[in-house]
Amino acid sequence: MTHPLDRLHDATADLDPPLAAADLPTLRSNAADLVRRAGGTPVRVASKSVRCRAVLEEALGPGLTARAGFRGIMAYSLREALWLVERGARDVLLGYPTVDRAALAELADRPQALDAVTLMVDCAAQLGIARDALGTARVRPRVCLDVDASLRLGPVHLGVRRSPLRTPDEVAQLARCATTAGFTVVGVMFYEAQIAGLPDTSPAVRLLKRRSAAELSTRRGAVAGAVRAVVGDLEIVNSGGTGSLEISSADPVVTEVTAGSGLYVPTLFDRYRAFTPRPALYFALPTVRRPSPTVATLFGGGYIASGPAGPSRVPRPVRPAGLRLLRAEGAGEVQTPVIGRAATDLPVGGRVWLRHAKAGELCERFAQLHLVDADGTRTTVPTYRGEGHCW
């Protein structure tokens, strides 16, 4: 069986790196696996982890709305959401609150976008800013309430710092506030980063995940019930991430799960036991100098992932096998030295393939993504950056 990197290497042999390429058969297999793991619960695609319209279309179809187990987009910016609606998307949930007054005013002037976009809120101040920017009271935007899904063990906080909302009463109170302010509450969201974003590195971690999932399942149901008592039926009870699809979708109160990184599979997902990582996205750098017989220096490469600074956030050389970054230099903005047995055979002009630590962030570094099919056919498509957008 042909390795994806063999296909990518051959299909881009006529191009000069740096370049980024994705293997379509692997990407499609990953998409099918996300749907399988969700067990019949629709999967909303997290655009932050994709950042390429053509890849979003691979999952959601040309209408950017629904296909084969995928339904809707979770966008990370209101301006992005408005742009996606212009291109056909009809179900866009913001993953984060917005205080972009100009974008909110634009939303108010676009009836189709008002029907397609759901804002995310977690406090009354966000509602006030949105209401002022939206202007006319006849506009009733759709909103979803972001609920803290972290695990609290005494003074210890496990998870990301997102919403101040945690208890059913707190969330119900904001639902009442939103309704009074002229918004239509359509859902609640829970992102359990301490489950979805934490590799299964030890029995202790797996025990922690199980405990967190049990606590959240109970609280999620109570929160959804409290909000329904205020606004009626909910369209959206969103939860999960690539690393927790099975756990989130098993809760009957959840109507949809979110995933995006699982399409590309960056290095941060290499140590999960819930699924078999199949990397689909790589980037290539050229060898531009040989400072010693055992070191080859690559052009560029300092594509450091967001999150806590450390070894887990740097790119990883994968071909030729056996290469590693120098601890004293790491991956640099204009040069990245690599060392290892394979480095001795790397000529100036040679190519090294690497993987990014996170998914969509790599697309901020490249204007184009080369998609390679099973027969070696190469299609070059723009990333968000290539389409002129930086949200």
pLDDT tens sequence across 76-121: 999 999 999 999 999 999 999 999 999 999 999 999 999 999 999 9
Return the CATH number at 67: 3.20.20.10
Asked whether residue 3 is domain-assigned, the answer is no
CA distances from 340 to 127, 318, 334, 343 (A): 55, 12, 20, 5
* Cα gap 37→18, rounded to integer Å: 34
Structural domain contains residue 240: yes
In a domain, 11, yes or no: no
Cis peptide before 320 (omega within 30 of 0): yes
Same domain, 194 and 322: no
For the chain, how many structural domains are there in total?
Answer: 2
CA distance 64 to 89: 5
- The answer to whether residues 233 and 316 belong to one domain is no
Rama region for 149: left / alpha / beta (φ>0; ψ in -120 to 50; rest): alpha
Extended beta strands in 1-53, E state: 19-23, 43-46
- C-beta neighbour count of 172 within 10 angstroms: 20
Q: Of 233, 263, 293, which residue is a domain's last?
A: 263
Ramachandran angles phi, psi of 118, nearest 5°: -115, 120
Closest to 77 in 3D by CA, of 111, 56, 57, 51: 51
In a domain, 275, yes or no: no
Q: What pLDDT is recorded for position 2? A: 81
The pLDDT of residue 138 is 78
Instruction: Give a yes or no: residue 84 inside a domain.
Output: yes
12 belongs to a structural domain: no
Residue 346, domain extent: 281-387
One domain for residues 89 and 208: yes
The reply to whether 120 and 230 lie within a common domain is yes
- Measured distance CA(38)–CA(344) in Å, rounded: 45
Same domain membership, residue 258 and residue 216: yes
CB neighbour burial string for 208-242, b if at least 16 within 10 angstroms, e if fewer: bbeebbebbbebbbebbebbbebbeebbbbbbbbb
269-285 pLDDT, tens per residue? Answer: 887 777 788 999 999 99
Q: Are residues 234 and 332 in the same domain?
A: no
pTM: 0.93
User: Same structural domain for residues 171 and 288?
Assistant: no
Domain membership of residue 17 (yes or no) is no
In this prediction, the residues of the chain whose per-residue pLDDT falls under 70 are: 136-137, 151-154, 156-160, 193-215
Residue 287 CA to residue 389 CA, distance in Å, equals: 30
One domain, residues 57 and 133: yes
Q: How far is CA 184 from the centre of its chain?
A: 26
Which pLDDT belongs to residue 191?
A: 80
Q: Are 195 and 247 in contact (CB under 8 A)?
A: yes
